[in-house]
Chain A
Amino acid sequence: MTTIIPFGPQHPVLPEPVSLKLEIDNDVVVGVLPSLGYVHRGLEKFIDTKDYNQTLYICERICGICSALHGVTYARAVEKLFDVEVPERAQYLRVIWGELNRIHSHLLWLGLFADGFGFESLFYECWKYRESVLDIMEMTVGNRVIHSMAKVGGTSKDLSKEHIDLILKTLDTLEPKIKDIEKVFVNNYTVKKRLVGLATMSKQLAYEAGTAGPTLRGSGNAIDVRETEDWDIYRDLDFKPVVEKDGDCYARTKVRIGELYESIKLVRNAISKLPNGEIAVPIKGSPTGEAIMRCEMPRGEVVYYVKGKGTKNLERLKIRTPTFANIPSLLLTLPGAKLADVPIIVLTIDPCISCTER
């Protein structure tokens, strides 16, 4: 006989509300039904009353964790409509702040994950190190969470020599700290016991399930939007996707840890190659036509669709966020799992409900 157990919307491991109705048979999940709608904000409707520049500020507020990259992706989508190339310096600046965004997002997730399996001090360590990246954001753009550095046509902020010194010094301090916490996540007996072999998705299954980001790459799929022609700049920065083959919770964790080092490398490379020059080009007129822009957010690929109608307002903005792509995979990975492992499995898709419900 099966029992229905609600997981969420309020749960110690969930920083945001989402509910899973779990069908349990003898402590094992046999069915799952996700329920959303607790924080839906209707932002795709809200932009009806905003012009295309104001819409950027709405997009930045879709998520407090990957705010910078939402702004950049929206700006790039609208720039496609205008068919404008932003200055090279602005492209590099976007990479620097975008990758710093990824570092603090992954450190946030590692902390939440450590908390999820009961390692409280590790949770504190991860969040303490994340603070140093938020400090960089505050010093360089004036805000810790909503960065407002992207604009249609380039960036609205620049980096000074002092800012660059601060970033490099912070990363030099941060990197060995990440190596310290990595030892626990990767080598600790208890952590491995909880994660290895848990909620495994084969390469094929993760691909066909439409998953994105570390969830996809943790199953051996070397797919990262930073390799696409829309993001040519990453080729100059020696970017390589981080991929793990095993497809379990442990593999997804290792992908995110590997991406911390990759992002640190990208920031350093971007700074070393940062060209002089303008940070924005003026944009005139109103957008027309349709465009799609993708970006690799910390949680995976985001898809922006924009349609202009020759007025200041967009006719349609549609955003497919990475968690939206990853939630259906829970229908495949949770059945067969023990009830006690559900929080860990859910956390390994790094769910962002704020993004999902826009």
Chain B
Amino acid sequence: MLENEVEIKSSAELLKTVEGLKNDGYRYATMICLKANEGHDLIYIFEKDYKLKNLRYYLKPGEKPKSVSGIYLCALLIENEYQDLFGLTFEGLAIDYKGHLYLTPNSPKTPLA
């Protein structure tokens, strides 16, 4: 568990919380994706006045995460990265590279999955 971490239970709560953080003046830093149980943990990292705030959302196997790029445009690159590397499918991506941000059709599929 990270410092200043909040557990998020649903994608609706995630979007609402991220929107609230933006309104509170938080800056989007990045998102971490790692394997957890059968699914994935997504850790969203925000920063304000040099303090980090981390949201952890457990993504169930087969669940499609909601993109936060509609709230923070800059999230689009990292979300596309995880489509490539973990095989996730983000719904509502501002620009969707469809699994080909880095990988070509002949590349290894979802190498971090």
Contacts and interface: CB of A to CB of B under 8 A. Distances in A.
A36 B27 contact: no
A209 B103 CA distance: 25
Contacts of A36: 101-102
B102 A210 contact: no
Interface string A269-305: 0000000000000000000001110000000010101
B34 A307 contact: yes
A83 interface: no
Contact of B34 (A207, A292, A316, A320): A316
Nearest to A320: B30
A36 B75 CA distance: 15
Contacts of A316: 32, 34
A305 B76 contact: no
Contact of A327 (B50, B75, B77, B85): B77
Range class of the A interface residue count: 35 or more
A328 B101 contact: no
A168 interface: no
A305 B45 CA distance: 10
Contact of A303 (B2, B30, B85): B30
Given A228-B50, A327-B77, A45 B112 contact: yes
A212 B30 CA distance: 12
Given A33-B95, A318-B32, A210 B72 contact: yes
Contact of B78 (A37, A208, A320): A320
Interface residues of B, number: 31
Chain B interface SS verdict (over half): mixed
Contacts, number: 73
A292 B75 CA distance: 18
B90 to A, nearest CB: 15
Interface in B21-69: 22, 27-30, 32-34, 43, 45, 50, 52, 54
B73 A328 contact: yes
Contacts of B100: 37
Contact of A210 (B1, B2, B29): B29
Interface in A133-148: none
A307 B27 CA distance: 23
B99 to A, nearest CB: 11
A325 B46 CA distance: 13
B6 interface: no
A37 B101 contact: yes
A85 interface: no
Contacts of A209: 73-74
Given A33-B95, A303-B45, A357-B102, A331 B73 contact: yes
B29 A320 contact: yes
Interface in B98-113: 100-104, 111-112
A255 to B, nearest CB: 18
Given A292-B2, A292-B45, A37 B104 contact: yes
B34 A315 contact: yes
Contacts of B1: 290
A42 B50 contact: no
B19 to A, nearest CB: 13
Contacts of A325: 29-30, 74
Contacts of A40: 102-103
A131 interface: no
Contacts of A211: 74
A165 interface: no
Nearest to B73: A328
Interface-centre pick from B29, B50, B74, B77 (highest chain A CB count, 10 A): B74
Nearest to A44: B112
Given A210-B27, A290-B2, A316-B34, A42 B76 contact: no
A228 B34 CA distance: 27
A57 interface: no
7 contacts: A33-B95, A291-B2, A292-B52, A307-B34, A318-B33, A327-B77, A357-B102
Interface of B: 1-2, 22, 27-30, 32-34, 43, 45, 50, 52, 54, 72-78, 85, 95, 100-104, 111-112
